[in-house]
Amino acid sequence: MPPEGAAGRLGAARRRPEPPLCATGLWRDGWYRFARPLRSPNFGPRPAGADIDLIVLHSISLPPGLYGGDQVQQLFTNRLDWDAHPYFGSIRGLEVSAHFYVRRNGELWQFVSCDDRAWHAGASSWRGRANCNDDSIGIELEGIEGGPFESAQYETLASLCPALAQRHPIRFIAGHQHIAPGRKEDPGAGFDWCLLREQLGWDGAMFPPDTIDR
């Protein structure tokens, strides 16, 4: 029998699940439906009128070259045990984040709403604008600078980037090495820009010039 009276209605309301995220499409308040959410405290508001037209690709692994752990998630949420590995001492106190993180198996995590400013680029400049954090989306790939990446990671990028372009006026995609040359080298020579261009079908003018003929 259906519940009767106020108490019954209240009980039914408490039991009623929230609408599934898929009911609202790919995005909800800057959060992507197909990413596993884990909120980072390391973010801030974008400047008023920011034109979010750039995707920045990075590489990261903690400790460098070791994959499969949850240390990257811990770093982005300020929970990393700095004494757990000798390398962590060199980054002690670092407060950073990215919008997305793509594991070696293609699993996708999201730490910051795309509506907000993640702390991934640092001192940087691209398409005549400085401070790329202000108007970019940062995507970290589990890997090392110069090392190869997995097919599953390219497949995830090939679905994520068009989804971003549906929500934002994406006109450029670059590596951290391109927006902060001399300071950063990721994702590095091991990243296959030609493969990504083929998968996305995007115009070559959207990519860094040094990746066009590779």
Q: What is the mean pLDDT of residues 61-78?
A: 98
CA–CA gap between residue 120 and residue 100 (Å, rounded):
10
Q: What is the pLDDT of residues 141-184, one digit of tens each?
A: 999 999 999 999 999 999 999 999 999 999 999 999 999 999 99
Q: What is the mean pLDDT of residues 56-67?
A: 98
- CA distances to 115, 128, 149, 174, 182 from 49, rounded to whole Å, are 12, 17, 35, 22, 30
- CA distances to 15, 101, 131, 195 from 72, rounded to whole Å, are 36, 9, 23, 26
> Is residue 137's pLDDT more than 90?
yes
Q: What is the mean pLDDT of residues 11-34?
A: 62
> Is residue 20's pLDDT more than 90?
no
> Is residue 207's pLDDT more than 60?
yes
Q: What is the pLDDT of residues 75-124, one digit of tens each?
A: 999 999 999 999 999 999 999 999 999 999 999 999 999 999 999 999 99
Which band of pLDDT confidence, cut at 50, 70 and 90, is reported for residue 212?
confident
pLDDT higher at 137 or 2: 137
Active-site annotation holds for 142: no
> Is residue 134's pLDDT more than 90?
yes
Q: What local confidence, expressed as pLDDT, does residue 8 receive?
A: 39
> Is residue 47's pLDDT more than 50?
yes
Q: What is the mean pLDDT of residues 49-75?
A: 97
> Is residue 22's pLDDT more than 80?
no
Q: What is the pLDDT of residues 180-200, one digit of tens each?
A: 999 999 999 999 999 999 999
Q: What is the mean pLDDT of residues 201-207?
A: 96
CATH code reported for the domain at 30-211 = 3.40.80.10
Q: What local confidence, expressed as pLDDT, does residue 10 receive?
A: 36
Max Cα–Cα distance, the chain, nearest Å: 71
- What residue spans define the domains of the chain? 30-211
Catalytic residue among 18, 140, 150, 185: 140
Q: What is the mean pLDDT of residues 10-18?
A: 36
Of 1-10, 30-39, 67-76, 127-136, the range with the lowest mean pLDDT is 1-10
